Amino acid sequence: MLVFAASDKGGTGRSVTSANLAYHRALDGDDVCYLDFDFGSPTAAAVFDLPDVLGEAEGRGLHSYLKGEVGEPLRVDVWARTEHPVLLSRPGGSGRLVLLPGDRSGGEFVTDAENLHRCVDLVLRLKREFDVIIVDLSAGRSYAMDLALLATSPRGGLGRLKTRWLVYHRWTRQHVMAAAELVYGKQGIVEAGCAMGHDSDALNAAIRFVRAAVPNLESPLWSQVSPAQYAWMRQCDTQLEEIAAGRGIGKTRVLSSIPLEPVLQWQERLITDEDVHDRRIANVETWQKMGELAQRLTDDTYWGQL
Ligand SMILES: Nc1ncnc2c1ncn2[C@@H]1O[C@H](COP(=O)(O)OP(=O)(O)OP(=O)(O)O)[C@@H](O)[C@H]1O
Ligand SMILES: [Mg+2]
Which of 51, 91, 49, 56 lies closest to 73, judged by CA? 56
Asked whether the beta carbons of 270 and 84 are under 8 A apart, the reply is yes
DSSP assignment letter at 266: H
Across the range 129-157, mean pLDDT stands at 96
Average pLDDT, the chain: 95
Query: Looking at the DSSP assignment, which residues form a beta bridge with residue 207?
Result: 165
The confidence score (pLDDT) of residue 300 equals 93
How far is residue 41's CA from residue 103's CA, in Å, rounded to a whole number?
9
Relative to the CA of 38, which ligand 1 atom is closest?
Answer: 27
Q: How many CB atoms lie within 10 A of CB 227?
A: 7
Cα–Cα distance between 69 and 222 in angstroms, integer?
52
- The closest of 36, 52, 268, 294 to 166, measured between CA atoms, is 294
More confident: 54 or 34: 34
Q: Which residue has its alpha carbon closest to ligand 1 atom 25?
A: 10
pLDDT confidence of residue 43: 86
- According to DSSP, the residues that pair with 165 across neighbouring strands are 4, 207
Q: What angle do CA 147, 150, 152 make, to 5 degrees?
A: 105
Residue 48: enclosing H or E segment and its boundaries? none
Report residues whose beta carbon is within 6 angstroms of any ligand 1 atom: 7, 10-17, 38, 41, 139, 212-213, 258, 260-261, 264-265, 268
pLDDT at 247 over 70: yes
Residue nearest to atom 18 of ligand 1 (CA): 13
Q: Is 212 helix (H, G, I), strand (E, B) or coil?
A: strand
Q: How far does residue 191's CA lie from ligand 2's centre (Å)?
A: 24
Distance CA 61, CA 134 (A): 16
94 DSSP assignment? -
pLDDT tens digits for 99-108?
Answer: 999 998 888 8
Residue 149 CB: number of other CB atoms within 10 A? 23
Better-predicted residue by pLDDT, 135 or 41: 135
Name the band, by pLDDT with cuts 50, 70 and 90, for residue 306: low
Rounded distance from Cα 170 to ligand 1 centre (Å): 9
Residue 109's pLDDT band, with cuts at 50, 70 and 90, is confident
Give the distance (Å) from ligand 2 centre to CA of residue 43.
7
Is residue 104 within 8 A of residue 54, CB to CB? The reply is yes
How much is the pLDDT for 106?
81
223 pLDDT above the threshold of 90: no
Q: SS3 of 51, please? A: coil
DSSP conformation class of 19: H
Mean pLDDT of 188-204: 97
What pLDDT score was predicted for residue 110? 83
Write the pLDDT tens digit of every residue in 174-194: 999 999 999 999 999 999 999
β-pair partners for 219: none
pLDDT surpasses 90 at 305: no
Q: Which amino acid is at 126?
A: L
CA of 117 to the centre of ligand 1 (A): 31
Confidence of residue 80 (pLDDT cuts 50, 70, 90): very high
Q: Kindly state the percentage of the chain with pLDDT values over 70.
A: 99
- Cβ atoms of 74 and 60 within 8 Å: the answer is yes
Q: With beta carbons less than 8 A apart as the criterion, state whether 86 and 117 touch.
A: no
For the CA of 168, the closest atom of ligand 1 is 21
SS3 168: strand
Residue 261 has pLDDT above 70, yes or no: yes
Digit-coded pLDDT (tens) for 10-40: 999 999 999 999 999 999 999 999 999 998 8
